[in-house]
Amino acid sequence: MSRLRRFLRTPEAVAGTLLLAVLFAMALSASLLFPGDPQAIAGPALLPPFQDWSLPLGTDRLGRDVLAELFHGARTSLAVGLAAAAAALVVGAIVGTLAGFAGGLVDEVLMRIADAFQTVPGFLLALAFVSVVGPSLGVVVVAIALGTWTGPARIARAEVLSIRERDYVAGARVIGMHPMEIAFREVLPNALPPVLAMSSVIVAAAILTEAALSFLGLGDPNRVTWGGMIAEGRTVLRTAPFLSIVPGIALVLTVLSVYLAGEGIVETTAVRRGLS
Amino acid sequence: MTRALVLLRRRLIGSIFVLLIVVIGTFLLLEAAPGDAVDAYIVSTGGDAGMIELLRHRWGLDQSELTRLANYLWALLHLDLGQSVTFSRPIRDVILERLPTTLILMVSATALSFGLGSALGIYAGARPGSFRDRFLSVASLALYAVPGFWLGLVLIVIFAVDLRWLPIGGIETLASDRTGLDRAADIAIHLVLPVSALGFIYLALYLRMMRAGMAEAWRQDFVLAARARGLSRRRIVLAHVARNALLPLVTMLGLQSAQMLGGSVVIESVFAVPGLGRLAQEAVAARDTPLLLGIILTSAVLVILINLLVDIAYAFLDPRVGASEAGA
């Protein structure tokens, strides 16, 4: 349990984990505490915060409950962030393992494709993808993953390059295991730790990209998103700036807690490798 | 500098392949979009079935996908990106008109984040583990968690709405007939907020890299040697520790360029800056896929060029870099 103790001794990591737990609780309890459509009109329009205790954070331009929107937005943010990061990590780990283990032409082709993906600004690619396929939660997840899988792929490949020369891989060859089986059952699991160490950065980036996409009106129109709330509040920025500021603070706290908790976990499990 | 030339040639050949993948991939992606340029055109102008047929034929949209890709690549060789439906002008001209604005925004924001970020990184890394080090570490993480577009809105609320110190958006005062230095100063004032919103986010990245690099450099033997020679602490920090930590940051400049370009899409939208990013958004809104394709290609070329420049700069800065390491 020394790892846990070391983790608990880092105040930043503990704060991040607690904050993240609160956000998850918000996301999970959204339907319980605020049943019904969060996009439905709940009171008079543009009610300032802390005026009416049935609507603690006030209402937006259309009279929707800001607190309810905030809770439901937490759900979208975390769901999209986690799903996009998971997709990017899985695709990246598989592509990286294939490239590193197969070598030769396969490696060359896969890495040039990764180069191409890294050359196009990820956000522009996500923008193009969503505008082609149409905005929905799944499409946004894929759009974000398109721009982020290359990082995990490169790290997995570098790791596989060193692992494939190890004795147990040679042993697996000798007993006649199929190369695909060696790649995915022997090599890939051992190449995972440094790839997983990136996950907090990727989740954080995915949450920020989702927010930016929905800020530009390319999020799922049927769901409340913090980015969408900020964009909505922007139209009344002069008279009611809190409508844009409140969801932004929620975003900052979410991303920060992901960073802090992730950094704490990586540091205590010591899989960190020369990355700042 | 023959080494640099070899490196340059290898990178150029690789870049052409990468660019080809980008063109074909993006072309096929945008092909999958429902509706084509003719639909977009008809929606905005109106017209009957005969006109639709005529336009499809004139713009070559009745040909097979492969033929059109071949035509596109052939036109691309002549630096022709096609015709924009929404602007009724060659796409190349529209993009070239918007590009300088985005470049100014990017270069200024990069200068801000790199300059201030590395300076603060040196300040923090000069005394590892001190209060200012820990404070800057957490503060930079918090800054890195801020969405750029939201920071932009907050800056607008504070400096443009409340204090009225700076303009709320745009790139220059409209219809003011300013020229020369006067106009440059006007543009500079308009750029303060967008550059801050874009630059402050990435500042954290350089700060953290610089700090991590310095922590690494403190443990090296040459620092011990410098101490043994009785050099002042200030001199050790600046001439030995910071100098060695600076090189990876130069590489980061290239890697960050794609991110910066993506970030400017949203920032340009927040501040109504008429650059490439805003053009991309206009293209999406108007379903002008050839224009979007052109913008993505231009960004890719830009990212490749910036990375080439960074590689060349790196070869000059670090004499250890040889052509053999260039492929990495």
Q: Which residues of A touch B290 (CB under 8 A)?
A: none
Q: How far is CA B23 from CA A12, B37, B301, in A?
A: 45, 18, 11
Per-residue pLDDT tens over the stretch A196-239: 888 888 999 999 999 999 999 888 888 889 998 998 888 888 88
- Cα separation, A197 vs A220, whole angstroms: 30
Domain, as residue range, for A30: 2-275
- Using the CB atoms, write b or e for A132-167: b if 16+ within 10 Å: bbebebebbbbbbbbbbbbbbbbbbbbbbbebbeee
CB-count burial class (<10 Å; 0-12, 13-18, 19+) for B290? buried
- Give A71's contacts (C-beta < 8 A, 6+ positions apart): A26, A27, A29, A30, A33, A34, A38
Complete DSSP assignment for A161-206: HHHTTSHHHHHHHHTT--HHHIIIIIIHHHHHHHHHTTHHHHHHHH
Percent of chain A with pLDDT over 90: 36
Q: Which of A132-136, A221-225, B56-60 has the lowest mean pLDDT?
A: B56-60
> pTM for this structure?
0.87
CATH number at residue A58: 1.10.3720.10
| Both tokens assigned to B310 | 């960074």
Chain A interface disruption, residue of B140, B284, B310, most A CBs within 10 A: B284
- Cα separation, A86 vs A79, whole angstroms: 10
Per-residue pLDDT tens over the stretch A96-115: 999 999 888 999 999 999 99
| Both tokens assigned to A140 | 């946004």
Would you say B257 and B302 are in contact if contact means Cβ atoms under 8 Å apart? yes
Interchain pair A121, B156: CB under 8 A: no
Nearest CA in chain A to B301: A119
Q: How many domains does chain A have?
A: 1
Nearest CA in chain A to B160: A238
At A89, the amino acid letter reads L
Percent of chain A with pLDDT over 70: 96
Interchain pair B29, A234: CB under 8 A: no
The rounded Cα A196 to chain-centroid distance in angstroms is 13
